[in-house]
Amino acid sequence: MVDPMVAIGAAVAIGLTGLGAGYGIGATGSASIGAIAEKPDMFGKTMVYVAFAEAIAIYGLLIAFMLLFSIGAK
């Protein structure tokens, strides 16, 4: 059984990182589309920035799993 406070912490971790990643992907995605429209060979470089923004959500999911399954706890 998972402690309710740990479950809330995991929910906050994934929720806030999801919001942050969504905002980051929206901002970098729109900027990258503008850059690609002006200079099509910038596609690869701009997609790297979008991937960095998406990695934030993956880190939040990792922290949520670590909290729920007590990984790293003594």
pLDDT in tens, 50-61: 999 999 999 999
Tens digits of per-residue pLDDT, 14-27?
A: 999 999 999 999 99
| Within a domain: 40 | yes
Structural contact between residues 32 and 45, judged by C-beta atoms closer than 8 angstroms: no
pTM above 0.75, yes or no: yes
Tens digits of per-residue pLDDT, 60-69?
A: 999 999 999 9
Domain holding 41, by residue range, is 4-68
- CATH number of the structural domain spanning residue 11: 1.20.20.10
| Within a domain: 73 | no
